[in-house]
């Protein structure tokens, strides 16, 4: 069976891509090393926020199938690699999934095939990591026998205004002809394409996008720390600054940063730069600030409990929202983890409430979950609003008998303490 597209890695990037391709009429096969993911999708069940079971049903009706058969990508005209690029021991970049996926493609690479890497990585990954594996494993040459391109993903979970079809997509190729084939492919279901000069520029653009957010989040976090020390209302500062219609982009402080991109991607850029003898001092400073925020939240929580006359060892704290962003089910790299760990280290009983996250593990131990928000608040001495899910209306959280530490700047009242 032939296919227009094979997507390798059916996670938060690969599955939305497969959905968009199916909706555009492309026959699509999805490959994943997880048998559970494959079985779930073939039963019509989604494991990715933003892609519902109904979406999977529509994909299957359009001919989509998931498989763990490593030969399946060989049947497609285009293969897109969407595997995770996380951090290994010591916070160093881990490209093992990209290498494994590239070896899988190399074993079934055919002349004329287009291979695209979408996984976020440091500049040079496409040319220096993926290309040698593909060429060495197949005997074919990129730019002559097959086409190799890089197009960074811009998936924003929970964003109701911008999806894959209407978010401008950066596209690059190892040669102008490679880029032309990539443009022809993505042009079938993406409205606006931006052609980069080369793969390194496209790879760097993706890292810059997330480093920009990382540095600016760190800036407002440090402003929040300063305002806390000097008695300045940081939320009023942000409101006033945000009224400027030019020259200021609003960011909000919080307990830290989470998700697969913001805490991870700047580390890829910094590590690559260090290997080339360059130091990104701005990223190092931002990392230092952001890493302090969970402990700052823990310190504020302990201070509130002391004011209540409740030592941490006798107190119950409930965390409201452990996902990394509002109204999503993704808790990867969430600052809720180190906050919970810090509170437990001080002897507090810690529980959590999050309608989107059914299980949350901290330091290898599952954190007890409260399913009812009113019941969670009734049991707690202190609630900490970590994520402003839409279900956390200010009336409910401020009328509770427990104290509230609000890290999102949403609530007010006599029992509320703002970050």
Residue 252: CB partners within 8 Å, gap ≥ 6? 220, 238, 408, 409
Give the number of other CB atoms < 10 A from CB of residue 145. 15
- Give kind and range of the element (H or E) at residue 21: helix 14-23
Q: Is 304 left (phi over 0), alpha (psi -120 to 50) or beta?
A: alpha
Active site (annotated) includes residue 82: no
Instruction: Given the residues 82, 108, 178, 261, select the one marked as catalytic.
Output: 261
Number of helical H runs and strand E runs in the chain: 14, 15
Q: What span, in angstroms and rounded, lies between the C-alpha atoms of 381 and 273?
A: 46
H helices present in 108-171, as ranges: 125, 131-138
The answer to whether the beta carbons of residues 416 and 404 sit under 8 Å apart is yes
Q: What span, in angstroms and rounded, lies between the C-alpha atoms of 254 and 64?
A: 40
What pairs with residue 263 in β-bridges?
Answer: none
Surface-to-core class of residue 185, CB atoms within 10 Å of its CB (0-12 exposed, 13-18 middle, 19+ buried) = buried
The answer to whether the beta carbons of residues 216 and 249 sit under 8 Å apart is yes
Q: What span, in angstroms and rounded, lies between the C-alpha atoms of 26 and 3?
A: 8
User: What's the distance, CA 288 to chain centroid?
Assistant: 20
Surface-to-core class of residue 129, CB atoms within 10 Å of its CB (0-12 exposed, 13-18 middle, 19+ buried) = middle
The answer to whether the beta carbons of residues 37 and 8 sit under 8 Å apart is no
Looking up tokens 């960011």 gives 251
What pairs with residue 194 in β-bridges?
Answer: 170
Residues carrying an active site annotation: 261
């Amino acid at each position: 069976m032939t296919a227009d597209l094979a997507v390798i890695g059916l996670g938060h990037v690969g599955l939305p891509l497969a959905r968009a391709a199916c909706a555009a009429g492309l026959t699509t096969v999805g490959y994943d090393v997880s048998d559970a993911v494959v079985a779930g999708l073939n039963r019509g069940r989604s494991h990715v926020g933003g892609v519902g079971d109904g979406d999977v049903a529509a994909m299957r009706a359009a001919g989509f199938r998931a498989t763990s058969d490593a030969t399946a990508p060989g049947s497609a005209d285009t293969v897109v690699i969407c595997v995770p690029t996380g951090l290994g021991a010591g916070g160093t970049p881990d490209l093992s999934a990209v290498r494994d996926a590239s070896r899988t493609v190399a074993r079934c690479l055919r002349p004329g095939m287009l291979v695209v890497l979408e996984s976020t990585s440091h500049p040079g990954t496409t040319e220096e990591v993926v290309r040698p594996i593909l060429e060495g494993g197949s005997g074919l040459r990129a730019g002559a026998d097959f086409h190799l391109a890089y197009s960074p993903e811009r998936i924003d979970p929970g964003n109701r205004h911008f999806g894959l079809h209407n978010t401008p997509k950066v596209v690059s190729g190892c040669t102008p002809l490679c880029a032309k084939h990539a443009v022809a492919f993505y042009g079938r279901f993406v409205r606006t394409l931006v052609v980069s000069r080369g793969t390194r520029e496209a790879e760097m653009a993706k890292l810059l996008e997330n480093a920009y957010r990382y540095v600016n989040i760190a800036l407002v976090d440090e402003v929040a720390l300063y305002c806390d020390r000097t008695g300045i209302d940081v939320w009023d500062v942000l409101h006033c600054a945000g009224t400027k219609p030019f020259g200021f982009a609003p960011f909000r402080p919080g307990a830290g940063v989470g998700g697969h991109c913001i805490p991870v991607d700047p580390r890829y850029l910094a590590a690559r730069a260090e290997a080339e003898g360059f130091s990104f001092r701005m990223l190092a400073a931002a990392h230092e600030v952001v890493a302090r925020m969970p402990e700052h939240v823990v310190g504020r929580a302990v201070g509130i409990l002391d004011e209540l006359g409740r030592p941490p060892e006798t107190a119950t704290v409930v965390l409201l929202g452990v996902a990394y962003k509002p109204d999503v089910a993704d808790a990867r790299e969430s600052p809720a983890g180190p906050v919970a760990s810090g509170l437990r280290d001080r002897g507090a009983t810690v529980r959590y409430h999050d309608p989107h996250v059914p299980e949350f593990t901290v330091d290898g131990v599952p954190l007890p979950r409260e399913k009812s928000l009113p019941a969670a608040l009734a049991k707690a001495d202190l609630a900490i609003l970590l994520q402003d899910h839409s279900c956390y209306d200010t009336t409910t959280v401020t009328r509770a008998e427990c104290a509230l530490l609000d890290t999102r700047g949403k609530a007010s009242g006599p029992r509320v303490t703002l970050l």
